Amino acid sequence: MALNQNKPAQSTLDDIARKLNVTKVTVSKALRDHPDISLETKEKVKTVARELGYTPNFIARSLSLRRSGTIGVVVPKIAHHFFSTAVETIYDSALQNSYEVILMLSQENAQREALHIQTLLSMRVDGLLISLSKETKDLSLLEAVKKSGLPTVLFDRVVEKPEFSTVTTDDEEGAFSIIEHAIHCGYRKIAHLAGYSHTSIGRLRRSGFEKAMMKHDIPMHPEWIIEGGFAEEDGYHAFMNIYHSKNLPEIIFAVTYPVALGIFSAAREKKIAIPEDLDVICIGGSNYNKYICPTITCIDQPVQEIGKQAISILLDNVMNPGQNRIQKIKIPGRLFLGDTCRKKSA
């Protein structure tokens, strides 16, 4: 590929320096308001800089300073209420602290996730914020990152290792309480479209489900616990499986909001009315939940809070090198009462 041809020759410190018969050092200092430089020179330098449309070269600056002023973020998806909201919060907080964000999407693919983390490392980001893909099992890269000393915070989809700071909803408690709510409403035949148990949210939500069931002595059907992904299509397919088994539960607890919607789709196709014939609850909401029919009773995740805490813990470690404080934050979800799961206890 031809070099330096599509790229405009942006002006440099030297360009400014030459115009003023000084050196680039003087210019560099002047532009950064270094006390060394006289007011007069500063004025002149800044004027010429403006005339030339000078923009400092971030790349050169980063190389010289050995810090980039950027935070790397890896999430499974962005076209998704939880992540787009969290990411927006992360961007805002980072900007307030004068950090830039480099966002990468794993698309729920472990290999791509690893690639992106590598790229972020090579970009010499000052910190790393990760929410793991649904496929991620091999944690060696993550551990290498951690060992290298790069400040890292995991959020939402995490690993339960003592060496990582994590910020999550209290998934187990959330699942427990919504199931208990369903039981209080009189439901007994409860199915769970679970996430993969190698993911933190899958495991914890399922565990909360099981604990609530056991506490209230409700029998659990193995065929009513189906592991899968976190997307709409996963809910759709899992429901179809249950449907074809001819043994429908009264209510399905979906591991995520999109999975719940997938159930809606499938049920509609099979002419099963929600919540009359079959009820649905889940963990996580969406900003459109109030417009959905029926509105889903769910555990609302404090999405912005999660994003805010994650970036705040990260920046704390980035800006105070050497401290490496590890924090495990669990933020409780809140039960949102929608149109589903309204039956009275008998």
- DSSP for 58-116 reads HHHHHHHHT---EEEEEES-SSSHHHHHHHHHHHHHHHHTT-EEEEEE-TT-HHHHHHH
Which CB sits closer to a copy of itself, 112 or 211?
112
Give me the sign of the Cα torsion angle 47, 52, 53, 55.
negative
How far apart are alpha carbons 56 and 16 in whole angstroms?
Answer: 12
Which CB sits closer to a copy of itself, 89 or 169?
89
What residues numbered 233-272 form the site for a copy of itself, per CB under 8 A?
A: 261, 264-265
Stretch in the footprint of DNA (CB under 7 A) among 62-70, 84-92, 133-141, 143-151: 62-70
**Is 23 an interacting residue with respect to DNA (CB under 7 A)?**
yes
Which CB sits closer to DNA, 28 or 177?
28
Smallest gap from Cβ 164 to a copy of itself, in A, equals: 16
Instruction: Count how many Cα atoms sit within 13 Å of the Cα of residue 128 in the half-sphere of its side chain.
Output: 29
Q: Binding marks (x or -) toward a copy of itself, 122..161, rule CB under 8 A?
A: xxx-x-----------------x---xxxx----------
User: What residue 8 binds from DNA, a copy of itself, none (CB within 5 to 8 A, per partner kind)?
Assistant: a copy of itself
Smallest gap from Cβ 141 to DNA, in A, equals: 18
**Is 337 an interacting residue with respect to a copy of itself (CB under 8 A)?**
no
How far apart are alpha carbons 93 and 150 in whole angstroms?
Answer: 19
**Is 98 an interacting residue with respect to a copy of itself (CB under 8 A)?**
no
Tell me 180's DSSP state: H
Which CB sits closer to DNA, 32 or 325?
32
Options 19, 52, 56, 181; binder of DNA; rule CB under 7 A = 56
**Is 118 an interacting residue with respect to DNA (CB under 7 A)?**
no
- DSSP for 15-49 reads HHHHHHTS-HHHHHHHHTT-TTS-HHHHHHHHHHH
Stretch in the footprint of DNA (CB under 7 A) among 31-39, 255-263, 315-323, 329-337: 31-39
User: What residue 169 binds from DNA, a copy of itself, none (CB within 5 to 8 A, per partner kind)?
Assistant: none
- DSSP for 145-169 reads HHHHT--EEEESS----TTSEEEEE
- Structure tokens of 112? 């791509």
List C-alpha distances in Å: 149 to 123, 222, 318: 15, 43, 10
Residue bearing tokens 């196709």: 269
**Is 24 an interacting residue with respect to DNA (CB under 7 A)?**
yes
